[in-house]
């Protein structure tokens, strides 16, 4: 994949030439997870990986801003409940969908969830491989891994990479994923999440939203337009698909502060 491919509508967040300055706070998860206390050394390690990713892969706005160092899952109000259950029963399983570098996977491990209860999945292994360099756990990370599109029925169907988990997943987490998909793909993605959940299972996540639902910038491959749901349109879609209880909450999360004005306007939502 080349960096920032040509798009039919401009992506409003041009990748800066150099990464922003990382504060000591930015490095908390990485330092705790790796045990490396020398924060200057960690800063250089992150910058080196960021430059390598920039030269090879599509740089989402959250990657531009190095937001992949901060756990996102801990900011969701459902997290404490999921965490408590996952720690109390090794039979329960959680999927980190659209895991990217995998900061939430590492947060789950730090918080005491057994690695065998976690499967991390993304469209391709590209960011995930860099994540193993970032978190320095290439030889030790023992979570499940699967790569392919959650919009593809074959990915979660019997015989597919995630077929063994169909109907068995207690918790599906998708942080900042839906807004990178087209309208059609959001629907397909949500249907496959419902299909992989165990009875009583819960999907929770975050995405960028809009007060008025509609198309936004092009998808990274330029083949379609991303779609931003409003809280009510996402609520209706998830109910229509068959989720029994749906709660979509519009908000402006702290990580949106300091973003471009149009990004702040569209805000975020949790479900």
58-77 residues in contact with ligand SAM (CB under 6 A) are 60, 62, 67-68, 72
Give Cβ neighbours of residue 178 (< 8 Å, ≥ 6 apart). 186, 189, 205, 207, 229, 234
Stretch of residues binding ligand SAM (CB under 6 A), selected from 83-91, 137-145, 176-184, 226-234? 176-184
Closest-by-Cβ residue to ligand SAM is 98
Q: Residue from 11, 49, 76, 98 that binds ligand SAM (CB under 6 A)?
A: 98
Is residue 176 at the binding interface for ligand SAM, with CB under 6 A as the rule?
Answer: yes
Is residue 123 at the binding interface for ligand SAM, with CB under 6 A as the rule?
Answer: yes
Q: Residue from 27, 42, 180, 197 that binds ligand SAM (CB under 6 A)?
A: 180
In the complex, minimum distance from the CB of residue 101 to ligand SAM, in angstroms, rounded to a whole number = 7
Helix (H/G/I), strand (E/B), else coil: 173 = strand
Nearest to 38 by CA among 21, 24, 26: 24
DSSP 135: T
In the complex, minimum distance from the CB of residue 208 to ligand SAM, in angstroms, rounded to a whole number = 9
In the complex, minimum distance from the CB of residue 123 to ligand SAM, in angstroms, rounded to a whole number = 4
Q: 175 and 98 in contact (C-beta within 8 Å)? A: yes
Is residue 13 at the binding interface for ligand SAM, with CB under 6 A as the rule?
Answer: no
In the complex, minimum distance from the CB of residue 153 to ligand SAM, in angstroms, rounded to a whole number = 12
Would you give the binding string for ligand SAM spanning residues 125-154, x where CB under 6 A is met? --x---------------------xxx---
Q: Residue from 53, 113, 146, 177 that binds ligand SAM (CB under 6 A)?
A: 177
Please state, in angstroms and rounded to a whole number, the distance separating the CA atoms of residues 224 and 7.
9
Nearer to ligand SAM, 88 or 184 (CB): 184
C-beta pairs of 46-54 under 8 Å, 24+ apart in sequence: 46/19, 46/22, 46/134, 47/19, 47/22, 49/130, 49/133, 49/134, 50/19, 51/19, 52/130, 53/127, 53/130, 54/3, 54/15
Task: Give the E-state strand segments of the chain in sequence order.
Answer: 94-97, 118-122, 144-147, 169-175, 197-208, 214-218, 225-228, 249-251, 268-270
In the complex, minimum distance from the CB of residue 143 to ligand SAM, in angstroms, rounded to a whole number = 14
Q: 82 and 112 in contact (C-beta within 8 Å)? A: no
Please state, in angstroms and rounded to a whole number, the distance separating the CA atoms of residues 180 and 151.
12
Nearer to ligand SAM, 45 or 76 (CB): 76
Is residue 15 at the binding interface for ligand SAM, with CB under 6 A as the rule?
Answer: no
Binding residues for ligand SAM, per CB under 6 A? 60, 62, 67-68, 72, 97-100, 122-123, 127, 149-151, 175-177, 180-181
């Amino acid at each position: 994949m080349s960096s920032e491919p040509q798009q039919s509508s401009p992506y409003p967040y041009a990748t800066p030439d150099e990464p922003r300055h990382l504060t000591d706070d930015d490095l908390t998860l990485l330092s705790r997870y790796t045990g490396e206390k020398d924060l200057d050394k960690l800063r250089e390690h992150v910058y080196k990986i960021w430059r390598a990713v920039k030269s090879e892969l599509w740089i989402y706005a959250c990657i531009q801003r190095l937001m992949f160092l901060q756990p996102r899952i801990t900011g969701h109000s459902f997290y404490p409940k999921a965490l408590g259950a996952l720690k109390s029963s090794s039979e329960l399983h959680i999927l980190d969908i659209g895991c990217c570098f995998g900061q939430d996977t590492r947060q789950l491990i730090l918080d005491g969830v057994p690695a065998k209860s976690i499967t991390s999945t993304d469209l391709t292994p590209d960011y995930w491989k860099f994540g193993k360099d970032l978190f320095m756990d290439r030889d030790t990370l023992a979570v499940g891994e699967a790569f392919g599109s959650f919009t593809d029925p074959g990915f979660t169907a019997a015989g597919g990479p995630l077929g063994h988990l169909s109907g068995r997943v207690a918790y599906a987490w998708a942080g900042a994923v839906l807004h990178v998909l087209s309208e059609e793909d959001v629907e397909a993605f949500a249907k496959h999440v419902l299909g992989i959940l165990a009875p009583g299972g819960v999907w929770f996540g975050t995405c960028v939203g809009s007060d008025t639902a509609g198309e936004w910038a092009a998808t990274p491959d330029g083949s379609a337009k991303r779609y931003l749901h409003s809280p009510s349109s996402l609520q209706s879609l998830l109910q229509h698909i068959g989720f029994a209880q749906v709660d979509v909450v519009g908000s402006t999360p702290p990580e949106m502060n300091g973003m471009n004005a149009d990004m702040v306007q569209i805000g975020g939502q949790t479900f």
